[in-house]
Amino acid sequence: MKIIPVSLRVPTFLLLAAGVAFAAEAKYQLERSKIYHGNPDAFAKPALVKSLTVFQNIKAYKTIEEEKVSSDSARYFLLLKEANEVFRTALATIAKEEKVDLIGEVGAIKAEDPKVSLPDVTQKMVKSVDGK
Domain annotation covers residue 9: no
Domain annotation covers residue 1: no
- Residue 12, pLDDT above cutoff 50: no
Domain annotation covers residue 68: yes
Mean pLDDT of 107-122: 92
Full strand arrangement of the beta sheet holding 102-105: 35-38, 102-105, 46-49
**How far apart are alpha carbons 62 and 86 in whole angstroms?**
13
Cβ–Cβ contacts within 10 Å for residue 72, how many?
Answer: 7
Q: Which residues contact 53 (CB under 8 A, 6 or more apart)?
A: 122, 126
pLDDT at 11: 43
Domain annotation covers residue 67: yes
- Residue 93, pLDDT above cutoff 80: yes
pTM: 0.77
The one-letter amino acid code at 19 reads: G
Domain annotation covers residue 21: no
Domain annotation covers residue 14: no
Sign of CA pseudo-dihedral 66, 69, 70, 71: negative
For the chain, the domain total comes to 1
pLDDT at 19: 42
Convert the pLDDT of each residue in 63-90 to its tens digit: 999 999 999 999 999 999 999 999 999 9
Q: How confident is the model at residue 132 (pLDDT cuts 50, 70, 90)?
A: confident
Instruction: List the domain range (segments joined by +) for residue 42.
Output: 27-129
Convert the pLDDT of each residue in 14-56 to its tens digit: 444 444 444 446 789 999 999 999 999 999 999 999 999 999 9
CATH code, 90? 3.30.910
